[in-house]
A = this chain, B = another copy of it.
């Protein structure tokens, strides 16, 4: 009987557990989770804080009890894994004040990511908040309840989503981003500018290109954000400067880290240490377009990586995780933002020469009422015409699916011409007869199409 121990009950850990159980009814499977919830969706935290999602517990797909009863997976909640001995094949766990050791034949590290905390004075002040787990929602709501002005440090996905969340709660929002654009790792300048305009229009006080150097307190509580350019009174601060893989236990388990700083894995989700797997935000992924290792911590791939790790842990190399192409989606109120493939910066990093086009289009036939505006940016490799990346912003959620279409096109090596001739559907209420992606491909063809 195989003993499988899984560190982490989030997307990757729970998928691994479920898959291991499905492929091996007799395995002993133990899942260790520091919080109270498993199969939890941290992506939903901004919406639970704003109240758009009324009950934060709905961010959990399954309860620990369901996992125990329906799948015979032992779930240890409120339990921290604190050490791993790869030679003796044990994990040391702490539950309350008790410490014990669990024996494993296969270890799956799905410890996720944790928020980065910038090394600046004042980050330890009360009222300085980070988002990690849905369990944090009640604390976040309580902390924010009597704040009227909130500073957000960081303009990435979480920063943008929390800006919406806080505006929904009626707060005054100041957002500080050291790069000169919002969503700096997701979008190029020209596309990010559309998002920034929308944020300003909705009332966010945007401080771009302004690095936060200190948080100042009053009576032990944060009261001021100090940047290189000025200082600003706030009641609370939300830190959203990024996340890093929570690799400590993987390292203790003897797994090598890759260049990205996350755990190095092969397509079977095996680490460098035999019988130790890693999956989800803790692990590197292969970028299908460049073949390079990247660290892109997102839930859809975490789920699939967990599934691969869980299946392989009990059955040995039955599944491969092929990697990602960098698809990501967010929104700011009615403005939907999606991207896939490479941005200009990423294409440059990868040493690729590219052409680019930015087009504006509508989401429906020009004569059909209720259309929304979208802006599409497309990059293609010079010479080959291979599509390298697509960024979309638009005032309709369908814009997000344009990135999905592009993601498949990019994964499958489509060129500008291939995409131009792709058989994308049309009806007046759902798309223009020339789909915005096809218009972008046409413009990018520089007169050839």
Contact = CB atoms under 8 A, between A and B. Distances in A.
B300 A44 contact: no
Contact of A367 (B41, B330, B403, B425): B41
A425 B420 CA distance: 22
A103 B424 CA distance: 37
B367 A53 contact: yes
Contacts of A368: 44, 47, 52-53
Interface size grouping (class) on chain A: 35 or more
B412 A400 contact: no
A425 B403 contact: yes
Interface string A394-428: 00011011111101110111100010111111111
B427 A43 contact: yes
A329 B431 contact: yes
A382 B72 CA distance: 33
A407 B422 contact: yes
A18 to B, nearest CB: 12
A428 B47 contact: yes
A441 to B, nearest CB: 11
B365 A41 contact: yes
Given A299-B433, A405-B404, A430-B331, A425 B369 contact: no
B365 A44 contact: yes
Counted per complex, copies of this chain come to 2
Contact of A426 (B329, B412, B423): B329
A44 B371 CA distance: 14
A322 B408 CA distance: 18
Nearest to A407: B423
A324 interface: yes
A295 to B, nearest CB: 15
B303 A434 contact: yes
B327 A424 contact: yes
Interface string A271-309: 000000000000000001000000000111101100100
A204 to B, nearest CB: 18
Nearest to A339: B425
Interface of A: 11, 22, 41, 43-44, 47, 52-53, 55, 58-59, 61, 288, 298-301, 303-304, 307, 319, 321-331, 336, 338, 340, 365-369, 397-398, 400-405, 407-409, 411-414, 418, 420-431, 433-435, 447, 449
Given A41-B433, A336-B430, 15 more contacts: A44-B368, A44-B428, A52-B368, A300-B423, A300-B426, A304-B421, A325-B423, A326-B423, A327-B424, A327-B425, A330-B427, A340-B425, A404-B405, A407-B423, A407-B424
15 contacts: A43-B427, A58-B366, A58-B367, A59-B367, A288-B423, A298-B426, A326-B423, A327-B425, A331-B427, A338-B425, A401-B404, A404-B424, A405-B405, A407-B424, A409-B412
